[in-house]
Chains A and B, each alone.
Chain A
Amino acid sequence: MSTNGKPKFAMYWAASCGGCEIAVLNIGEKILDVDANFDVAFWPVAMDAKYKDVEAMPDKSILLTLFNGGIRNKENEEIAHLLRHKSQILVAFGSCASEGCIPGLANLSSTQDIYKTVYHTVSTENPANFEPQYEYEMPEGILYTPEFYPVLKTLDQVVPVDYYMPGCPPESHQIAAVVELVIKVLHGEATLPPAGATIGAGVSTVCDDCPRQRNVKTIKEFVRIQEVNSIDPELCLLEQGIPCNGPATRNGCGALCPTASAQCIGCYGPAEGVLDYGSRLVTAFASVIDSNDPDEINRILDGIPDPVGQFYRFNLAGSLMRAGKPAWQGNGSH
């Protein structure tokens, strides 16, 4: 690890898919600016480093840490605390760290059911029925593996966070803009946004950026996009009965999906000021239904077979409820 006087940069992945790292590398030649302006102190996906190297660093010695991934196990949590201590600016980077994202959907299931799916279904070859042990006696001594927690948490449910950068993954042009801003701040040419702000995104909704027309049209059925014969290229998808999450989702991607005739699934998380993402969508979806009759409304709602998956695909861990009952009731069993 060099000590060349440049400010230190770190990036870490907890419970995530690795897409955020790829999005960072995808910023093209701007990555060279990162290298020119920062000393990369810790970035497991890009370079070899040990936790003990980070532990040895003085507190607050890393200027900027991009933390992606949710807090799924004890290791994730320990590193979140460690990097909080060592970093001046800690960014919840991407949907997983900000709001739980897809790994957070496991918050609907008990630990036992998660283990069953991971270790004992047809896609896994596990004839001896192994399951992880947190402590295991070996001739050389006891081996420890990090404890799996019953409920996945967002980064800010574990440590204080300075900024949020939404997206699954964040769009590369947004990352590049944030990198540029931080470098400007380093050179005294700009100031940081207020603490707690969401960076690299807009303050409105995907609908606001969406080129499709809204005509306050109401619908008699919800349809799955893959079952629609022809999609009107001009009209709002929701007004065609296609469950689009644009009304509650923060803008920043440039309305990529609806522009390409696919519904927004909400990867940029809740729009500014939205306390509960799914609640906002319940209101939006209810308002396009063309019926005042309970039976008919229920028939139309059958077109949304998985409401929690539809309304909280990225946001369950960050939502007001945070988890389904089976997850927290199974607490302590592992």
Chain B
Amino acid sequence: MSEQETFEPVIIGFTCNWCSYRAADMAGTARIKYPPNVRLIRLMCSGRLDPTFVLKAFSGGADGVLITGCHPGECHYIEQNYKMLRRYLLLKRVLGGMGIEPDRLKLVWASAAEGVRLANEITKLVEEIRALGPLNWPQWQMGNGHHAMEVSQPEEVTA
């Protein structure tokens, strides 16, 4: 098996409590299958998403980050999801500037009724991140003689 097939991406998902978390919940109760790679963290609203959370996830070892929120116009806090949309578009540019593929960060709008759609989006995202490969951000340590690459690299498989 190639490295790409064995690599299981770690994805942190930030979901809004009102729509998209319920969508994920619904996908679960309806026994819709989606890959277990996403660790969901529930926020009250996508507008609560501080970009710090995303960078913390990537610097802490995540390969991808998913943000979900209510559809435009349907945020329970009126327009916070638009604020998140702007942060998201700007954050992608910041990631690009650091040499991180912007596609590792994804935004999905999902209403409480869209369990199937959300499950499909998650499945798609997992495959996209798998194709990008591990991010392997170094786990820097203090006073480690400056050799930043602490994380072991995947072994090369000879053909």
List residues of chain A with CB under 8 Å of any chain B CB. 71, 74, 77, 108, 149-151, 153, 156-159, 275-276, 278-280, 282-283, 285-287, 289, 291-292, 294, 297-298, 301, 304, 306-309, 311, 319-326, 328-329, 331-332
Q: Is B90 a contact of A285 with CB atoms below 8 Å?
A: yes
Q: Is B85 a contact of A282 with CB atoms below 8 Å?
A: no
- The answer to whether B149 has its CB under 8 Å from any CB of chain A is yes
- List of B residues within 8 angstroms of A285 by Cβ: 90
CA distance A280 to B90 in the complex (A): 12
In the complex, which of the residues A108, A151, A291, A329 contacts B146, with contact meaning CB atoms closer than 8 Å? Answer: A151
In the complex, which of the residues B72, B89, B98, B146 contacts A153, with contact meaning CB atoms closer than 8 Å? Answer: B146
- List of B residues within 8 angstroms of A321 by Cβ: 55, 58-59, 98, 137
Interface core residue of B56, B72, B87 (most chain A CB under 10 Å): B87
CB within 8 Å for A306 and B97 given contacts A294-B89, A320-B56: yes
Which residues of chain B in 136-159 are interfacial with respect to chain A, using CB atoms and an 8 Å cutoff? Answer: 137-138, 140, 142-143, 145-149
CA distance A224 to B67 in the complex (A): 31
Q: Which residue of A lies closest to B81 (CB)?
A: A292
Q: Is B142 a contact of A297 with CB atoms below 8 Å?
A: no
What's the nearest-Cβ distance from chain A to residue B144, in Å?
A: 9
What's the nearest-Cβ distance from chain A to residue B64, in Å?
A: 15
CA distance A284 to B72 in the complex (A): 21
A-B CB contacts (within 8 Å), total count: 108
CB within 8 Å for A149 and B146 given contacts A275-B52, A283-B50: yes
CB within 8 Å for A301 and B93 given contacts A286-B83, A289-B86: yes
What's the nearest-Cβ distance from chain B to residue A155, in Å?
A: 11
- List of A residues within 8 angstroms of B140 by Cβ: 157, 322
In the complex, which of the residues B52, B86, B100, B149 contacts A320, with contact meaning CB atoms closer than 8 Å? Answer: B52
Q: Which size bracket describes the interface of B in this complex?
A: 20 to 34
Q: Is B89 a contact of A331 with CB atoms below 8 Å?
A: no
CB within 8 Å for A326 and B99 given contacts A150-B148, A279-B52, A332-B149: yes
Interface core residue of A150, A289, A319 (most chain B CB under 10 Å): A289
CB within 8 Å for A278 and B93 given contacts A292-B82, A331-B147, A331-B149: no
- The answer to whether B91 has its CB under 8 Å from any CB of chain A is yes
In the complex, which of the residues B55, B87, B137, B147 contacts A286, with contact meaning CB atoms closer than 8 Å? Answer: B87
Q: Is B51 a contact of A282 with CB atoms below 8 Å?
A: yes
Interface core residue of B50, B55, B98 (most chain A CB under 10 Å): B98
Q: Is A294 a contact of B85 with CB atoms below 8 Å?
A: yes
Q: Is A323 a contact of B148 with CB atoms below 8 Å?
A: yes
- List of A residues within 8 angstroms of B97 by Cβ: 108, 306-309, 324
- List of A residues within 8 angstroms of B86 by Cβ: 286-287, 289, 291, 297
Q: What are 22 A-B residue pairs whose CB atoms fall within 8 Å in the complex?
A: A150-B148, A157-B143, A158-B142, A276-B51, A278-B55, A279-B51, A280-B52, A283-B50, A286-B83, A286-B90, A287-B83, A292-B72, A294-B89, A301-B89, A306-B97, A308-B98, A319-B55, A320-B52, A320-B59, A321-B98, A324-B97, A331-B148
